[in-house]
Amino acid sequence: MMISRTLLAYACLLSWTNFAVAEQYVRYSKDGKISYGLVEGTRVRELSGDLFNSPKKTDTTHAMADVKILIPAVPTQVLALAGNYRSHLKNDVVPPKFQIVQPFYKSPSCLVAQGESIVLPKDAKTVHYEAELVIIIGKKCSKVSKASAMEYVFGVSAGNDVSERIWQNDENVKDVQWWRAKGADTFGPVGPVIATGLDYGNLMLRLKLNGEVKQEERTDHLIHDIPSTVSFISRYVTLHPGDMIFTGTPGTTSTIKPGDIVEVELEGVGTLRNPVVAEK
């Protein structure tokens, strides 16, 4: 018997949902209506109002298998860090300053949800996966200290910073910025939920390619932790509720091709699963 896409997405969502204390929020569509909801076991309770401004629980619930999971928030901007795990750096060099671990932008249009396809452009040659923890900002954030930065973090999600390495690095081809290498449409899978109440700095992050583990590391190995990251970026860029920060990938990465299935697992969040297809 074939398993429907919705049921498969639901199965991925349930992975690692038994993390103590955590709450999970999902953005979903049902009968043409887009809502935020609180995950309650196998169901989602609809919320009224803004997720980032004291939403209210309603009496309406749906089976998770009956809703379509969307990207977990609608950001005004998406930023990301490069080289934020020692295991991902060449020669094991640890950069001491953010001027070396450069934040960069990904286009919000690159975001895709749980179960949606990563589409490889026709002229892309070498596209890699990158499993990452994604910070979700909860309130307007400008010039905040490291000590207060976590007050502005709503929660975290799982992400895949898909990257075309030729466009990114080849001296004869690369762009001045990584706008297409890391920001092309569908190059930013994120989800399936936003998790709160976790020890964000000590979660297992894992990537599987066609069921085989390719990346695996805990987030306590981040060179620049979440408070440092939010504080530094907010010194120069005002962050808004729903904005996302991809925090860097561990270990080594390799190519993906049409027909592959990429799964990013983040402890307490679940599994972000996306098929890879070629542009038509």
* Residues contacting 47, CB < 8 A, separation 6+: 25, 35, 36, 37, 38, 55, 56, 57, 58
Overall fold of domain 70-278 = Fumarylacetoacetate hydrolase; domain 2 (3.90.850)
Sign of CA dihedral 160, 165, 171, 173: negative
Is-contact 169 245, C-beta < 8 A? no
| pLDDT at 206 (0 to 100) | 98
Q: What is the dihedral of CA 271, 74, 197, 52, to 10 degrees?
A: -160
Instruction: Print pLDDT tens along the chain (280 aa).
Output: 444 555 455 555 544 444 445 899 999 999 999 999 999 999 999 999 999 999 999 999 999 999 999 999 999 999 999 888 887 676 555 555 544 457 899 999 999 999 999 999 999 999 999 999 999 999 999 999 999 999 999 999 999 999 999 999 888 888 888 999 999 999 999 999 999 999 999 999 999 999 999 999 999 999 999 999 999 999 999 999 999 999 999 999 999 999 999 999 999 999 999 999 999 9
To which residue do tokens 């803004």 refer? 50
- pLDDT recorded at residue 92: 55
Q: What is the 3-state secondary structure (H, E, C) of 55-69?
A: CEEEEEEEEHHHCEE
- pTM for the full predicted model: 0.90
Q: Which residue has the tokens 């609809």?
A: 46
CB 17 within 8 A of CB 39: yes
The domain spans of the chain are: 70-278
pLDDT for res 18: 42
Q: How many CB atoms lie within 10 A of CB 40?
A: 13
Find the angle CA(246)-CA(202)-CA(269) to the nearest 5 degrees: 60
| Res 170: pLDDT | 85
